[in-house]
Structure 1
Amino acid sequence: MDNITNEEKQQSIEAFQSVIRKSENALASMKSGSAQSRLLEKRLKAARIGEGLLAARWEGKELDVSHDELVEAKQVLEGLLLMLPGFLEKTKPGSGQRTYIERRIKAFQMAVSYLNE
């Protein structure tokens, strides 16, 4: 994972930022305290940690989160990685949606890989 181009790094950060934006927007319209909102909050937290982890790793900075938060983020991202290929199968080759999902998968894989270290 060390031979990643600057373009791939940028696309991975943008994939996480997109997940964060969409999650924040969805959360704003949900009933607070519901099972769906709690799940989305966990995913949002994992996405923020994933984005921070990639940025910290590539910029040589420290990530200020606890070990427990890293473990939880890893579990959430791994769970999302299991779901994403199903969405990928429903898209047409060469479509913008397919490219978007492929970039998200790659970003999540990188973050999980770094979390495994």
Structure 2
Amino acid sequence: MKAVSPERQTLLIKSMQSTLSKLENAYKNMIEKGSNATLVKKRLDAVKIALDSLENAWHGADFSYEKENILEARKVIIGILPSVEKQHENAKEGSPQKTLLERRIASIEAAIEALDVHTINFK
């Protein structure tokens, strides 16, 4: 993985935690309303694995997922990236939303890199 300062690591992990929290709330609300929450659940699971992967890479936290789950999480995370990039393009320059989206993009990219490292470890 690329070298990342401890301060940047903290920001990127917090961004991924924020994404996880938003997905947890969305999933809970959809279940309560009886909506189909399959996609949100899939993203929620992927973001959880991605967050665990970052915490493992940077802080040595436990990471014990099957290769198939890691590969699926990577695929889902990659699929989320274009919509976040599109939101970033449309956000007003200098706005807090633009900064949040920049961090979210960076955290997703770092998570993809961390997940790549984990899949290599299975080979």
| TM-score, normalising length: structure 1 | 0.91
CA distance in 2, matches of 1:85, 1:75: 16
Paired position in structure 1 for 2:22: 22
How far is the alpha carbon of 1:15 from its aligned partner? 0.8
Report if aligned partners of 2:52, 2:62 keep a CA contact under 8 Å in 1.
no
CA distance in 2, matches of 1:24, 1:62: 21
| TM-score, normalising length: structure 2 | 0.87
How far is the alpha carbon of 1:64 from its aligned partner? 1.0
Which residues of structure 1 form unaligned runs of 5+?
A: none
AA partner of residue 116 (structure 1): D
Deviations 1:34-54 (A, max 9, x none): 1xx110001111111111000
> Alpha carbon RMSD of aligned pairs, Å?
1.4
Deviations 1:14-69 (A, max 9, x none): 111111111111111114571xx110001111111111000011123441111011
Q: Which runs of 4+ in 1 moved over 3 A?
A: none
CA distance in 2, matches of 1:82, 1:12: 18
Q: How many residues align?
A: 115
Report if aligned partners of 2:52, 2:61 keep a CA contact under 8 Å in 1.
no
